[in-house]
Amino acid sequence: MVLAEKWPILLRHEQAAEWLQVWSDLGRAPRTIDAYARGLTEYLTMCERAAVDPASAKRAHVAAYVRELTERPSRRGANVVVLDSGAGLSNATIQQRLVPVRLYYDFLIEDGVRESNPVGRGRYTPRRKLAGHERGLVSRVKKLPWIPTEDEWLRLLEAALGEPIRNRLMLALAYDAALRREELCSLRTDDIDPAHRTLRIRAETTKSRKERIVPYSASTGVLLSLYLAWRSSITRARGPLFLSESRRNFGQPLSIWSWSKIVRRIALAADVPRFSTHTTRHLCLTDLARMGWELHAIAALAGHANPETTMIYIHLSGRDLAKKLNAGMKHIHSWRLDKLAALPPGEAKELER
């Protein structure tokens, strides 16, 4: 089994290896399988240290695993950029680690190995009229995405000016079309329609597995023309749009990891360490919400399967709150300001003289 070669602990846990193989055979993305394998092997390792059979583990054992995750120091140490859990791992990372464990136990239940899932999940309870849902094993922290300020964005653009045409084009497309990292790096020459200034985002590269057509601006079109002229000096063959410029992989498709390193270098040069390959997407969708785009239009551009995801950017832009404040408080604001601006009778007569 290929997975067992990378994760030897699976050789000692046949059911876990079988579950991962099922997901792999069903065509799940390799990185998804890798993330599931990593999370599950961490849990299996903890079970072995505690001399517990994972197939018969109880909620107390899962709770011990959660405690271990919350107390684990970050690999980045003092250089960690964002820390929202108050411990070594963020809330989002802990949630991510629990997903494969929960799915593994779902698999055991389906196979009749056990009757209940010790991880569980938030579920609807009719008796809780106010809450509506029962809390999951670990409460989920929901934070709005970070976007750069105008000053930070200007510093990033200035730092990007010294980059090769390819990198500037990739930043422009990532913002212009709100592209995810994989969508951007997976673009091919035949995905471009210069006549209509649109890109075809193929289903296999998207998170929702749904194809979509997105536009790009005239300014980005200029960068694209310049880059295509440069690319033709390497190859005139159709294929991946973005090619590596390094000596080791010259002319090969640019990987998502290389793109992440490029963006990280630009972010540090601009002294905006929180900037990442996903920040341009957040900024674009927030800007569209600020400009008054409708929810369904933003969702269509972003390729969101769930409108609630798109609502994050409506909230982040503050558009709805500002609109309600201006409409509902206009009279009250004007009344109070008129009162503040009014002069006492004596002072008014003094000014008339």
DSSP per position, 91-141: HHHHHHHHHHHHHHHHHHHHTTS-SS-SS----B-TT-TTT-B---SSPPP
State whether 221 and 286 are in the same domain: yes
Is-catalytic flag, 319?
no
d(CA 149, CA 271): 12
Indicate the number of domains in the chain. Answer: 2
In a domain, 325, yes or no: no
* The pLDDT value given to residue 315: 79
State whether 90 and 218 are in the same domain: no
- Phi then psi for residue 224, to 5 deg, are -65, -40
Q: Which of 207, 212, 264, 290 is catalytic?
A: 207
In a domain, 162, yes or no: yes
Q: Which of 28, 202, 212, 278 is catalytic?
A: 278
* The pLDDT value given to residue 6: 81
d(CA 67, CA 74): 14
The mean predicted confidence, pLDDT, of the chain is: 83
Last residue of a domain, one of 60, 89, 110: 110
State whether 75 and 157 are in the same domain: no
In a domain, 130, yes or no: no
Pick the more confident residue, 89 or 308.
308
Model's pTM, two decimal places?
A: 0.70
Q: What is the DSSP letter of 195?
A: T
Per the CB < 8 A criterion, the answer to whether 226 and 168 are in contact is no
In a domain, 251, yes or no: yes
State whether 194 and 281 are in the same domain: yes
In a domain, 352, yes or no: no
Q: Is 209 left (phi over 0), alpha (psi -120 to 50) or beta?
A: left
Last residue of a domain, one of 110, 126, 142: 110
In a domain, 52, yes or no: yes
What mean pLDDT do residues 234-252 have? 89
Is-catalytic flag, 238?
no
User: 214: which strand partners?
Assistant: 199
| Sequence-distant contacts of 54-61: CB under 8 A, at least 24 apart | 54/13, 54/16, 54/104, 55/15, 55/108, 55/113, 55/114, 56/114, 57/118, 58/118, 59/118, 59/119, 59/120, 59/137, 61/118
State whether 253 and 186 are in the same domain: yes
State whether 177 and 275 are in the same domain: yes
State whether 163 and 311 are in the same domain: yes
Q: What's the pLDDT tens digit per position in 183-194? A: 999 999 999 999
End-to-end CA distance of the chain: 97
In a domain, 143, yes or no: no
State whether 95 and 166 are in the same domain: no
Q: Which of 231, 281, 282, 319 is catalytic?
A: 281
- What CATH number does residue 243 fall under? 1.10.443.10
Last residue of a domain, one of 80, 110, 140: 110
Is-catalytic flag, 278?
yes
- Phi then psi for residue 328, to 5 deg, are -85, -25
Is-catalytic flag, 49?
no
Q: What's the pLDDT tens digit per position in 112-155? A: 888 888 887 654 444 444 444 445 666 666 778 889 999 999 99
State whether 174 and 236 are in the same domain: yes
In a domain, 247, yes or no: yes
Domain span at residue 105?
2-110
Q: Which of 102, 168, 304, 319 is catalytic?
A: 304
Q: Which of 97, 166, 180, 231 is catalytic?
A: 180
State whether 78 and 158 are in the same domain: no
